[in-house]
Amino acid sequence: MIYLDHNATTPPLPEALISLARVANEAWGNASSLHTSGRTAKVEIENAREELAALIHAAPQEIIFTGGGTEACNFAILGAARAQKNKGRHLVASALEHSAVKAVLRALVEDGWEITWVDPDGDGVIAPESVVAALRPDTVLCAVMHANNEVGTVQPIAAIGSLLKAKSITFFCDMTQSLGKIPVDVKALNVDLAAFAAHKIGGVKGAGALYVRKGVTVESLVRGGGQERGLRGGTENTPGIAALGAAAAWWRAHGDAERARAGVLRDALQSALLQRIPNLQVTAQNVDHPVERLPNTLHVTFPGARGDVLVMALDLRGMAVSAGSACASGSVKPSEVLLAMGRSTEEASSSLRFSLGFGNTPADIPVVADAVAAVYAASRAAYGS
């Protein structure tokens, strides 16, 4: 199979799997225990904490391990909002957010909170001034994702964070899609809270992390035995955390080269598709003002076709692509992200996302482009367009 869905999940890195197996076999003790077996497990967790902290330019003490990116998003939003409920009950969020963020924000609305949603421009970019315009005296938290999982646009997080810092408003940033694909420096980006998922960077599912800037207060979401500085109870997933640490170490060593390689492949695929399908519409490709995109991500619209049909047709040819967010799989609803960008319902239902990664090579490009052109032509013929 030619796998082009790395934004949904990545194949585990060999280094991560080696670490996973080694720790599962050799450091299976409970990290809260005082004996040698427990201390051995604790060392593995702390080593992973240091690796992830170094990758995002944070202090190890600012990293809280979780069971994944969704938990980290829930932890950040619920924890920060509840900690400040006496200061105000108004939240601001971009309309581009992942369901892991939108769902918890909507749950807060049911509890009496108010939310102002900030729409992106036609290229999928959230303007800092639009965020500021949405603020109110009772705003306590703002959520804007770093990079969109569907269309790949990268937001001006540093500028947004700077404006929010000046107003003492807590800033949460979902970075599950950006980590590894672009450099991440939480200090330079002016964020207070940031969520990460191991399986997006070559780790394994079931492990994630939340960055909590020193001085920021969050209420515990998972209460238990006092692990993770009392903020996330429960016996730690030591093998999964160790694999996350190994993946973080890999990106520190090889990130620049991998990002450059992915960018070359993405641009080659875009050119190859446009050569074969001239009426293809590339998302966030504005000649007048270039938009920063994740280097591995290509999002395109196929006029007169259905994205889900193209996904299934390409799957039969041994190619994995996506019609949107993997967390919305099985749904035929148009993408909320594209609708927020001003696309029509038809356009939002006629798109594919190609996200490249570790296993892709230059030899894949013409094979994929030929297959896409063939299934698109067949789809249009079938629907009489």
Tokens of 291: 């938009």
Q: What's the whole-number mean pLDDT along residues 67-89?
A: 97
From the number of C-beta atoms within 10 Å of its C-beta (0-12, 13-18, 19+), residue 33 rates as middle
Domain with CATH 3.40.640.10 in the chain: 14-249
| DSSP string across 120-163 | --TTS---HHHHHHH--TTEEEEE--SB-TTT-BBP-HHHHHHH
Please provide residue 58's backbone torsions phi and psi, each rounded to the nearest 5 degrees. -120, 175
| SS3 (DSSP) at 257 | helix
Cα Rg for the chain, rounded, in angstroms?
21
As a whole number, mean pLDDT of residues 103-123 equals 96
CATH of domain 14-249: 3.40.640.10
What is the per-residue pLDDT for 381?
73
- Assess whether pLDDT exceeds 80 at residue 205: yes
For the stretch 119-149, pLDDT in tens is: 999 999 999 999 999 999 999 999 999 999 9
What is 2-8+255-383's CATH topology?
A: Aspartate Aminotransferase, domain 1 (3.90.1150)
Q: Which two tokens stand for residue 328?
A: 């919305």
Calculate the CA 77 to chain-centre distance. Answer: 16
- Catalytic positions, please? 327
Looking at residues 79-89, what average pLDDT do you find?
Answer: 96
If you average pLDDT over residues 247-264, what whole number do you get?
98
Which pLDDT belongs to residue 329?
47
Can you give the pTM of this predicted structure?
0.94
Residues of CATH 3.90.1150.10 domain(s) within the chain? Answer: 2-8+255-383
3-state SS class at 351:
strand
E-strand stretches of the chain: 2-3, 63-66, 90-94, 114-118, 139-143, 170-174, 193-197, 208-212, 281-282, 297-301, 319-320, 351-355
